Structure 1
Amino acid sequence: MANKEEKADEKQSSWKDFIYNPRTGEFIGRTASSWALIFLFYLVFYGFLAGMFSLTMWVMLQTLDDHTPRYRDRVANPGLMIRPKYLEIGFNRSIPQQYNKYVQHLESFLQLYNDSIQDANKQCTDGEYFEQDKAEEKQVCQFKRSWLRSCSGLADSTFGYSEGQPCILVKMNRVIGLRPRGDPHINCAAKRETPLQMQYFPTEGTLDKSYFPYYGKTLHANYVQPVVAVKLLLTEEDYNSELVIECKVEGTDLLNNDERDKFLGRVTFRVKVLK
């Protein structure tokens, strides 16, 4: 019994000595000077790593532009989208409740294009890029809602939906620094044997060069991109059947036929109008 107590006392004493040995002055097996050297080593080591990381980040940040992404390979060519933002548009022209959501969407989208707002912007020269070299906030070219004429929602607040000849707005997505060559314009066609009559506003579906390049949200805060209004001139034969319509940007070097991306330079949507 005494041997067991002695062994227990020795074991407890050894643990106490490991934590702090008063004879050697060691704490957890090391003297104070040994611990100080270890802490100094790791302080220098991790300080060096932090310094290297900070220097690397600083050098990398010097290569970046505050306004333009360095790599933009995913958006080298713009996609097309339509407003109202529905790829399947269906309604009965005699029932306003069925097409009101499309009308409201168009009205909301065109608020920034109101003539009263656009009068404050610059009248740019048609057919020429609007280059701006200075770093301050960029000027914006006028694009007035009234230029969309019968698709402006001014003379006809239903954008043609009440008469069964709806307007669709086609816009090209923004890409910083894009300068499309040639004469870019929007061309739409129904995927069927007989052509579908359409009207374009502005005339011929032009996307004028004066709205390019775009300098980004920071520098070009009030920028409005050009849009093309397409009025579908549906006839009695076109009602009650689904029409598949594809719009493309043409007359330029921009891609519009990549089978891997259905929205690259083109957009396809469906329209069905009931009498």
Structure 2
Amino acid sequence: MASTEDKPANKENTSSWKDSFYNPRTGEVLGRTASSWALILLFYLVFYCFLAGMFALTMWVLLLTLDDYVPRYRDRVPFPGMSFLQQYNDTLQEMNMQDCVTGQYFVQDEAEEKKVCSFKRGLLKACSGLSDTNFGYSDGQPCVLLKLNRIIGLLPRGDPYINCTVKKDTPVQMAYYPEMGRIDKKYFPYYGKKAHENYVQPLVAVKLLLGKEDMNKEHSVECRVEGTDLKNNDERDKWLGRVSFKVKVME
């Protein structure tokens, strides 16, 4: 049981604790008077303004050394390389690849040698290059081929498809190949270049059915991946899940 002698001591400790925040006798807040707080805030304001000015000055000097058209430092390889792209061949597609179950992921986690699902260009129909080797450009109705970047282990949920829009008052008709611009899930997941050596990325062809009223005009087209959990509206990365391009057909 506490004695009466302990009560004044407890009261004194409580008063001392409160005074550390605000002392009514001296007018101090957290051990400083109003003028002291004003001086220290002014010091930090000037100090950080000085640091910001130094940073802006150094950035300005650095940007003066850069050219808008030519990089200051080049790659160590001064001469261009060359590469060879083998011509598409339906027979090789059938020999090296297999027909997979449509609409299902082709999971091969346990298999040492990863098999590849075939993607025949006949799926692109009018944009396959079989019936029209100019891909619609000679007729003023061009085909644009789109694909997703390869990401190891990606399993997109839902039924991903490509949807394109033209930024104009009147809509432009489009045709998608494969139908509805769908990207079949059987091409996922991808296991990397070494394990999945002959992997073929699925394509989606978009044919712009431009009319006479659309000729001689520049059209801004934006295509997005829809119907899945893949992001396509990140303002910090305008290429995430979407792509933009411009088309102008001359008569």
- Report the 3-state secondary structure (helix = DSSP H, G, I; strand = E; otherwise coil) of the residue aligned with 2:125: helix
1:118 to 2:118 alignment: no
What's the CA shift string for 1:107-133, capped at 9, x where partnerless?
x98944x32222121100011000002
Counterpart among 110, 121, 133 of residue 134 in structure 1: 110
Return the alpha-carbon distance in structure 2 between the equivalents of residues 184 and 236 of structure 1: 32
Supply the distance in 1 between the matched residues of 2:158 and 2:237 (Cα, whole angstroms). 23
From 169, 188, 192, the counterpart of 1:193: 169
Mapped to 1, the partners of 2:191 and 2:215 lie a distance apart of 43
Q: Distance in 1 between matches of 2:179 and 2:119?
A: 14
Give me the CA root mean square deviation: 1.5
Shift of 1:240: 0.2
Q: Secondary structure at the match of 2:126?
A: helix
Identity %: 63
Contact 1:168–1:229 at 8 Å: present in 2 too?
yes
Q: C-alpha separation between the residues in 1 aligned to 2:92 and 2:155? A: 25
Residue-pair matches, total: 167
Q: Please point out which of 210, 229, 241 is paired with 1:253.
A: 229
Distance 1:140 1:127 in 2: 15
Normalised by the length of structure 2, the TM-score is 0.64
Matched, 1:168 2:141: no
Measured against aligned partners, the alpha-carbon deviations of 1:43-76 in whole angstroms (never above 9, x if no partner) come to xxxxxxxxxxxxxxxxxxxxxxxxxxxxxxxxxx
TM-score between the two structures when normalised by the length of structure 1: 0.59
The structure whose RCO (Cα within 8 Å, separation 6+) is larger is 1
Partner of 1:270: 246
Take 1:170 and 1:123, find their aligned partners in 2: how far apart are those partners?
22
Is 2:196 the partner of 1:227? no
The one-character-per-residue Cα deviations of 1:65-103 (angstroms, maximum 9, x if unpaired) are xxxxxxxxxxxxxxxxxxxxxxxxxxxxxxxxxxxxxxx
1:133–1:253 distance in 2 versus 1, CA, 3 Å = same
Instruction: Structure 1: state its 5+ residue gaps.
Output: 1-107
1:200/1:229 contact within 8 Å kept:
yes
| CA distances 1:192-250 after superposition (whole Å, capped 9, x unpaired) | 12111010000000000000000000010100111100011010011100000000000
